[in-house]
């Protein structure tokens, strides 16, 4: 059955979710406070880089099934409302900033004059959903006919369309003792996905909130685990990539997320593990998550290590060293530079006096907004021209597939630091490069 759906917040999560809901057959209205973003989306343009999303968005803007507004009252009559606004880290604190989620509830709930279900998708501290459910009942003219449930989102940037339309599981948290229509409505919203046998876990609100932050805490821990092992490999001459292959064959461990390198970043993992620790502290169980502080520190240490490695490769003299940084996005197939290890390394090198040139296939615009004083180049060749040291900081396909022999002709000195362990090391060494991996070929 086709429903009318609103999506509050049209960033990486919300814009993809809105287009995905239209693809599932619903009539969708996306709401955001950012007028420039809404104007672009309404024209069928995606204001960020996400493979496959421009086609999906245009298809449904053209069909009339998907529209965008800055006026929340236009969304008030929808059967279903999704909240996908940001929950960034608070300035100077580890906790999440919940202002944007609360603002949506404060705006939307008083407009609810007919029964509706609000599904929260933003990643929030445990306890938020219960607090907001009570607030919705209090503020909505329909009272407890307005329900709130939590439906955490697991999409990965770079694969956001696929993950939205074909998620590996759906999780729905509903209010214990007050189970209303939320589960039935979610089954209608996701009928096509559930019809394919996708696992659907219905939990209480707290469990649903914790599922999301626990998943991210686990993934961050896995990455920091292998990066800690990389530190040991670096002083013993061992090879962390071979080690990861060998332990990864064990099904209990698995090879995914065991790529040692510059570490994790982006708009989710770093702020989510910090907010999780802050929340555990508020709940009086801070010790339970004290290991996440170590996970964070291991991760940040990798950035420092790479900067030190550049200095060593530049003969111990950072001032004036020409460094080509390949990549600014926090991962390939995304233009997201939020807490990006690549951009952070470029910034540190720049501040240390190196003559840095950065190239990223998609993230230039976002990166320049953060570091207007760093020269960003239009091509890999321009960034490499005359470089004393090359740092691969994001594993874009263009860098992984570069021809080491051809590239050697551009630089002043063939020294490369593979900050993502993503290059075919032997090929680069054969082509005459001094190759440094992280936790291998140290
Ligand atoms: N990006 C991801 O891969 C991803 C994956 C899973 C979960 N999440 C979670 O989803 C949430 C959103 O993340 P994102 O990456 O899409 O963030 P984002 O910054 O790209 O988008 C957030 C959007 O919300 C808008 N907004 C702020 N206040 C608003 C209001 N009162 N009404 C309407 N819109 C408002 C902003 O203008 C912005 O466009 C976060 O909680 C994040 O942790 C993100």
Reported as a single tens digit per residue, the pLDDT across 395-422 is 999 999 999 999 999 999 999 999 999 9
Q: Which residues are CB-contacts of 436 (< 8 A; sequence separation ≥ 6)?
A: 309, 313, 415, 416, 417, 418, 442
- The reply to whether 422 belongs to the active site is no
Determine the average pLDDT of the residues in 116-134.
98
pLDDT over 90 at 261, yes or no = yes
Query: What is the per-residue pLDDT for 370?
Result: 98
Ligand 1 centre and the CA of 121: distance in Å?
9
Query: What is the per-residue pLDDT for 169?
Result: 98
Ligand 1 centre and the CA of 14: distance in Å?
6
Inter-axis angle of helices 128-139 and 99-108, to 10 degrees? 20
For the Cβ of 164 lying below 6 angstroms from any atom of ligand 1, the answer is: no
Fold matches, 4-198 and 217-436:
yes
**Model confidence over 337-392: pLDDT tens digits?**
999 999 999 999 999 999 999 999 999 999 999 999 999 999 999 999 999 999 99
Q: Which residues are CB-contacts of 261 (< 8 A; sequence separation ≥ 6)?
A: 227, 302, 395, 419, 420, 421, 422, 438
**Model confidence over 167-182: pLDDT tens digits?**
999 999 999 999 899 9
**Average pLDDT of the residues of the chain:** 97
Ligand 1 centre and the CA of 152: distance in Å?
13
Q: Which of 6, 15, 29, 32 to mutate to test the pocket of ligand 1 (most atoms within 8 A of CB)?
A: 32
pLDDT over 80 at 306, yes or no = yes
For the Cβ of 334 lying below 6 angstroms from any atom of ligand 1, the answer is: no
pLDDT over 90 at 1, yes or no = no
Q: Which atom of ligand 1 is the closest one to the Cα of 124?
A: 41
- Point out the catalytic residue in the list 233, 268, 313, 422: 268
Percent with pLDDT over 90 in the chain:
99
pLDDT over 80 at 442, yes or no = no
Bridge partners for 37 per DSSP:
none
pLDDT over 80 at 147, yes or no = yes
For the Cβ of 33 lying below 6 angstroms from any atom of ligand 1, the answer is: yes
Query: Comparing C-alpha atoms, which of 276, 289, 287, 363 is closest to residue 325?
Result: 363
Instruction: Give the whole-angstrom CA distance, residue 226 versus residue 268.
Output: 20
Percent with pLDDT over 70 in the chain:
100
| Residue bearing the CA closest to ligand 1, atom 7 | 153
Query: What is the per-residue pLDDT for 342?
Result: 98
User: Is CATH 3.40.50.720 what the domain over 217-436 is classified as, yes or no?
Assistant: yes
Query: Comparing C-alpha atoms, which of 401, 340, 349, 350 is closest to residue 372?
Result: 350
Ligand 1 centre and the CA of 344: distance in Å?
22
Ligand 1 centre and the CA of 272: distance in Å?
13
Inter-axis angle of helices 128-139 and 205-236, to 10 degrees? 150
Determine the average pLDDT of the residues in 126-151.
98
**Model confidence over 30-76: pLDDT tens digits?**
999 999 999 999 999 999 999 999 999 999 999 999 999 999 999 99
Q: Which atom of ligand 1 is the closest one to the Cα of 48?
A: 20
Q: Would you kindly state where each structural domain of the chain is located, as residue ranges? A: 4-198, 217-436
Class of domain 4-198: alpha beta
Here the tokens at position 435 are 């190759």
Here the tokens at position 156 are 């990965």
**Model confidence over 390-399: pLDDT tens digits?**
999 999 999 9
For the Cβ of 122 lying below 6 angstroms from any atom of ligand 1, the answer is: yes
Q: What is the pTM of this model?
A: 0.97
| Residue bearing the CA closest to ligand 1, atom 39 | 11
| Residue bearing the CA closest to ligand 1, atom 33 | 32
Strand segments (E) across 361-432: 389-392, 415-418
Query: What is the per-residue pLDDT for 441?
Result: 82
**Model confidence over 208-242: pLDDT tens digits?**
999 999 999 999 999 999 999 999 999 999 999 99
pLDDT over 90 at 299, yes or no = yes
Instruction: Give the whole-angstrom CA distance, residue 59 versus residue 65.
Output: 9
């Amino acid at each position: 059955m086709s429903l009318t759906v609103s999506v509050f917040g049209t960033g990486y999560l919300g814009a993809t979710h809105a287009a995905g809901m239209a693809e599932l057959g619903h009539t969708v209205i996306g709401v955001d406070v950012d007028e420039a973003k809404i104007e672009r989306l309404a024209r069928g343009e995606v204001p960020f880089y996400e493979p496959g999303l421009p086609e999906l968005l245009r298809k449904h803007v053209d069909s009339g099934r998907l529209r965008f507004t800055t006026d929340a009252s236009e969304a008030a009559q929808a059967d279903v409302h999704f909240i996908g606004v940001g929950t960034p880290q608070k300035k100077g604190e580890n906790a999440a900033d919940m202002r944007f989620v609360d603002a949506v509830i404060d705006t939307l709930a008083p407009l609810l004059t007919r029964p509706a279900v609000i599904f929260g998708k933003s990643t929030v501290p445990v306890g938020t959903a219960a607090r907001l459910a009570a607030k919705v009942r209090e503020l909505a003219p329909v009272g407890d006919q307005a329900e709130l449930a939590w439906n955490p989102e697991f999409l990965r940037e770079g694969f956001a369309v696929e993950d939205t339309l074909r998620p590996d599981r759906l999780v729905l948290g509903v209010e214990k003792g007050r189970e209303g229509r939320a589960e039935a409505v979610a089954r209608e919203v996701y009928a096509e996905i559930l019809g394919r046998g996708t696992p659907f876990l219905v939990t209480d609100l707290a469990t649903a909130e914790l599922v999301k932050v626990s998943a991210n805490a686990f993934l961050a821990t896995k990455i920091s685990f292998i990066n800690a092992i990389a530190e040991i490999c670096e002083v013993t001459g061992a090879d962390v990539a071979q080690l990861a292959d060998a332990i990864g064959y064990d099904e209990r461990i698995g090879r995914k997320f065991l790529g040692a390198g510059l570490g994790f970043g982006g708009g989710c993992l770093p702020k989510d593990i910090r907010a999780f620790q802050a929340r555990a502290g508020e709940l009086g169980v801070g010790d339970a998550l004290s290991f996440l502080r170590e996970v964070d520190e291991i991760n940040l240490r990798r950035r420092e290590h790479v900067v030190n490695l550049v200095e060593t490769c530049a003969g111990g003299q950072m001032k004036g060293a020409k460094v080509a940084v390949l990549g600014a996005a926090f991962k390939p197939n995304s233009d997201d530079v939020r807490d990006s290890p690549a951009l952070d390394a470029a910034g540190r090198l720049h501040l240390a006096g190196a003559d840095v040139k950065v190239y990223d296939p998609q993230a230039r615009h976002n990166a320049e907004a953060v570091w207007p004083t760093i020269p960003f180049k239009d091509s890999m060749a321009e960034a490499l021209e005359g470089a004393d040291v090359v740092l691969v900081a994001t594993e874009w396909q263009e860098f992984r597939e570069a021809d080491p022999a051809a590239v050697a002709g551009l630089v002043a000195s063939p020294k490369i630091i593979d900050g993502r362990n993503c290059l075919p090391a032997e090929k680069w060494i054969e082509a005459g490069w001094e190759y440094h991996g992280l936790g291998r070929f140290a």
